[in-house]
């Protein structure tokens, strides 16, 4: 612990900053192929996504200035090839790729292989002008290496027949498209060299896509052309089509017909020589521009590492991150408030006067029904008791006595006469019988 100084102790911010500089300065440019997932395109115009394969994944950012060059709209599940710089997102400590270019995997892989082989062969000197063999001004025999059924062959033969019908032509048929084409082209070049019957060879085919012309971008074809003892003119596709074979060949013709014109004799030998020199100049100029372009790209890359734009882009990414967090927090807050309002509304409904009045009305209705049931039970009980009392009363009722043959005598005041002494002459008596009464006067 005594050997530690303040300079040996890192803060988290300083550590992440140092690691970011190490990643950006040491790794440089990397090519990566993978599947897009978690794709996000905020309003800032930047893209954020994850590249993954079956075993791992890495986070990526592609800023607005670069993603405008992408010719398709990325989506989750796309297989892509990307050119990127390795970096670190300091606020989270996550390492990530800063994507500079993106291509669909198929075309991107071919273009990457083309660039890699081109740089490799250029570094070995296969494109050097000093290694080019001169094209004979007056060839005695021309060899053509192409498809025997392709339009390129008929174009070449047509031009040769028109310009120099006496010039011998030897055709070495081969495939010029597909998986086996590169090997067959290399074998045809080797066969022409072993037979040594021609003093110039035209190797080519008609135009097509990068995939169609890919056999002329194989390393075996390039090295076979470079090793050929017979000068070779590359005549692949149209003028805009460029292959590895064009760089290695002793001369590049823009089309198969142009190649036939280059090797055929006519009255314009000077024009042919000028055209040849022009082609060489164009080839040398392309190589020079390619080398200068690589140097400019390297300088630009070194300059970009120090450019304030990258700090602004990192801050823009951080702003996007904060925006996403704010949006999530707002959504979470609004959801919580919505739940609170729902619970409050439910509680309010429980305590609503309308609900309570309804409950009290139901309670009163039940009480009223219970009271009515109780009254009916009470009346029934009373009727039962009255019936029993009536039976008992009937048993001792004077009426019952009258029914048995007795009678009751009362005076005018209604007093029952039970003794003779209660009467006197002239009193009116009422004798009550079972079925009526008899009025009489005492004599």
DSSP 151-187: HHHHHHHHHHHHH-TTS-EEEEE---SSTTHHHHHHH
Cα dihedral 279→282→286→287 (10° resolution): 60
Of residues 342 and 352, which shows the higher confidence score? 342
Assess whether 130 and 47 both reside in one domain.
no
Of residues 349 and 373, which shows the higher confidence score? 373
Measure the CA angle with vertex 7, ends 3 and 9; round to 5°: 75
CATH code assigned at 99: 2.40.50.140
Query: Domain end: 232, 265, 298, which one?
Result: 265
* Buried-exposed string 366-405: b where 16+ CB fall within 10 A, e elsewhere: eeeeeeeeeeeeeeeeeeeeeeeeeeeeeeeeeeeeeeee
Which pLDDT value is given to residue 29? 83
Distance CA 12, CA 93 (A): 9
Tens of pLDDT, residue by residue over 62-94, are 998 888 888 788 888 888 888 898 888 888 878
> Any alpha helices (H) in 196-236, and if so which ranges?
219-227
Q: Which of these, 193, 271, 268, lies nearest to 232 by C-alpha position?
A: 193
| 113 inside domain | no
Q: 49 pLDDT exceeds 60?
A: yes
Host H or E run for residue 80: strand 79-89
**Residue 192 has which token pair?**
């022409």
Assess whether 153 and 185 both reside in one domain.
yes
Band (pLDDT 50/70/90 cuts) for residue 272 is low
Which pLDDT value is given to residue 315? 78
Q: Which domain, by its residues, includes 157?
A: 125-265
> Any alpha helices (H) in 96-241, and if so which ranges?
105-124, 151-163, 181-195, 219-227
Our count of domains for the chain comes to 4
Over residues 207-217, the mean pLDDT reads: 81
| Residue in the block written with tokens 């805009």 | 240
* Of 151-160, 278-287, 335-344, minimum mean pLDDT range: 278-287
Q: Which of these, 143, 197, 204, lies nearest to 170 by C-alpha position?
A: 143
Find residue 172's DSSP bridge partners: 145
Assess whether 274 and 243 both reside in one domain.
no
Assess whether 139 and 246 both reside in one domain.
yes
Query: Domain end: 209, 244, 265, which one?
Result: 265
Assess whether 101 and 155 both reside in one domain.
no
| 351 inside domain | no
Which pLDDT value is given to residue 7? 63
Which pLDDT value is given to residue 146? 94
* Of 37-46, 104-113, 125-134, minimum mean pLDDT range: 104-113
Which pLDDT value is given to residue 142? 95
Q: 298 pLDDT exceeds 80?
A: no
Assess whether 132 and 261 both reside in one domain.
yes
Q: Which of these, 40, 79, 77, lies nearest to 60 by C-alpha position?
A: 40
Assess whether 155 and 137 both reside in one domain.
yes
Band (pLDDT 50/70/90 cuts) for residue 267 is very low
Of residues 29 and 306, which shows the higher confidence score? 29
| 71 inside domain | yes
Assess whether 172 and 223 both reside in one domain.
yes
Distance CA 138, CA 312 (A): 63
Q: 108 pLDDT exceeds 60?
A: no
Assess whether 289 and 416 both reside in one domain.
no
CATH code assigned at 132: 3.40.50.2300
Of residues 130 and 104, which shows the higher confidence score? 130
Phi/psi at 229 (5° precision): -85, -15
Which pLDDT value is given to residue 266? 63
DSSP 378: H
Q: 183 pLDDT exceeds 90?
A: yes
Which pLDDT value is given to residue 296? 83
Give percent of the chain with pLDDT exceeding 70.
92
| 347 inside domain | no
| 41 inside domain | yes
Which pLDDT value is given to residue 50? 93
At residue 95, the 3 state secondary structure works out as strand
Q: 427 pLDDT exceeds 90?
A: no
Cα→Cα distances 203→254, 288, 307, Å: 12, 24, 47
**Residues in Cβ contact with 284 at an 8 Å cutoff, skipping those fewer than 6 apart:** 129
Q: Of 204-213, 215-224, 277-286, 296-305, give the range with the top mean pLDDT.
A: 215-224
| Residue in the block written with tokens 């790794």 | 27
Distance CA 244, CA 114 (A): 8
Query: Domain end: 265, 295, 316, which one?
Result: 265
Assess whether 99 and 147 both reside in one domain.
no
| 97 inside domain | yes
Over residues 38-48, the mean pLDDT reads: 91
Over residues 258-282, the mean pLDDT reads: 75
Which pLDDT value is given to residue 192? 94
Q: 61 pLDDT exceeds 90?
A: yes
Q: 189 pLDDT exceeds 90?
A: yes
Q: Which of these, 244, 246, 212, lies nearest to 232 by C-alpha position?
A: 246
Assess whether 93 and 18 both reside in one domain.
yes
Assess whether 31 and 61 both reside in one domain.
yes
Which pLDDT value is given to residue 269? 57
């Amino acid at each position: 612990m005594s050997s530690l100084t303040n300079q040996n102790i890192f803060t988290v911010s300083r550590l992440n900053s140092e690691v970011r500089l190490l990643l950006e300065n040491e790794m440089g440019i990397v090519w990566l192929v993978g599947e897009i997932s978690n794709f996000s395109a905020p309003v800032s115009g930047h893209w954020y996504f994850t590249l993954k394969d079956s075993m791992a994944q890495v986070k990526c950012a592609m800023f607005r200035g670069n993603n405008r060059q992408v010719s398709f709209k990325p989506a989750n599940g796309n297989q892509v090839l990307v050119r990127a710089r390795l970096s670190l997102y300091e606020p989270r400590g996550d390492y990530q790729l800063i994507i500079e270019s993106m291509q669909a995997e198929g075309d991107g892989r071919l273009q990457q292989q083309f660039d890699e082989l081109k740089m490799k062969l250029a570094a070995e000197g296969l494109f050097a002008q000093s290694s080019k063999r001169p094209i004979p001004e007056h060839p005695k025999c021309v060899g053509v290496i192409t498809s025997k059924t392709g339009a390129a062959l008929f174009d070449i033969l047509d031009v040769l027949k028109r310009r120099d019908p006496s010039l011998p032509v030897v055709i070495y048929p081969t495939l010029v498209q597909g998986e086996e084409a590169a090997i067959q082209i290399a074998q045809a070049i080797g066969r022409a060299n072993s037979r040594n019957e021609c003093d110039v060879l035209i190797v080519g085919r008609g135009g097509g896509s990068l995939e169609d012309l890919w056999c002329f971008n194989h390393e075996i074809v390039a090295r076979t052309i470079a090793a050929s003892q017979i000068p070779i003119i590359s005549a692949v596709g149209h003028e805009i089509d460029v292959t590895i074979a064009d760089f290695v060949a002793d001369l590049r013709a823009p089309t198969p017909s142009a190649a036939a014109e280059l090797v055929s004799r006519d009255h314009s030998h000077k024009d042919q020589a000028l055209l040849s020199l022009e082609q060489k100049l164009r080839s040398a100029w392309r190589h020079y521009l390619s080398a200068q372009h690589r140097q400019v790209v390297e300088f630009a890359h070194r300059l970009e590492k120090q450019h304030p734009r990258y700090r602004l882009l990192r801050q823009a990414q951080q702003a996007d991150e904060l925006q996403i967090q704010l949006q999530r927090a707002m959504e979470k807050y609004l959801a919580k408030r919505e739940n609170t309002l729902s619970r409050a509304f439910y509680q309010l409904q429980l305590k609503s006067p309308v609900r309570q009045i309804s409950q009290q009305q139901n309670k009163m209705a039940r009480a009223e029904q219970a009271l009515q049931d109780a009254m009916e039970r009470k009346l029934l009980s009373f009727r039962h008791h009255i019936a029993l009392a009536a039976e008992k009363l009937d048993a001792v009722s004077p009426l019952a006595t009258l029914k048995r043959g007795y009678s009751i005598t009362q005076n005018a005041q209604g007093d029952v006469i039970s003794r003779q002494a209660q009467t006197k002459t002239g009193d009116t008596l009422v004798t009550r019988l079972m079925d009526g009464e008899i009025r009489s006067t005492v004599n």
